[in-house]
Amino acid sequence: MSLTSLNIASGDEASCPAKYIKILKEILSFPGVSGMSAAIGLQGHFASGQPNLAYMRSGLDLLATTVLPIWLTEASVDPQPSQAEYLEEVLRESYSHPAVEGIIMFSGPAQAGFNTTMLADETFKNTAARDVVCKLIQEWGTGSHIATADNRGVVDISLHHDDYDVTVTYPLIHWKPFM
């Protein structure tokens, strides 16, 4: 189960972390939910003006006390002259928090009705917000890995969402398949 709440990360007073934890504890106390997987989803729509990163950080710290995985969902920053700068601040704050396991962007082209954090303009040219996202993906990217399968032939690697070239080698034969 993932409980998602609107704008806790961005400082909406109606959706404060303490209220979220109270509701989460109520849900998890219901009969029959013992042992159920749970996670926290935080919608992160940031309105005009500089994001309150101190509030965001303290909210994430409080929610982290639940020991549940946290995902920032629908990360977006309203259009404004400093949108790309503020988006980078929000994404860096989220990514750097040890309890945050993932970030999902809320973005799309203007033609589809999106009006916040557009990654491409109406002519499908990259926006400054997209340049930030691409820069951070490159910076935080997984890079090259060499892994060895366990005795069952299984390799477990945590990777960022991206396209990867995978080469598998089997040392007992001279064959190198490419996937």
Tens of pLDDT, residues 126-172: 899 999 999 998 898 877 778 888 888 888 887 776 677 887 776 66
Beta bridge partners of 167: 178
Give the burial string for 134-162 (b: 16+ CB within 10 Å, else e).
eebeeeeeeeeeeeeeeeeeeeeeeeeee
Q: What is the mean pLDDT of residues 67-84?
A: 91
Structure tokens of 174? Answer: 């001279």
State the pLDDT confidence band at 175, using cuts at 50, 70 and 90. Answer: low
In this prediction the pTM is: 0.78
Q: Class for domain 2-140, per CATH?
A: alpha beta
Average pLDDT (96-117) is: 85
At 50, list the tokens: 């500089």
Give 5's pLDDT tier (boundaries 50, 70, 90): low
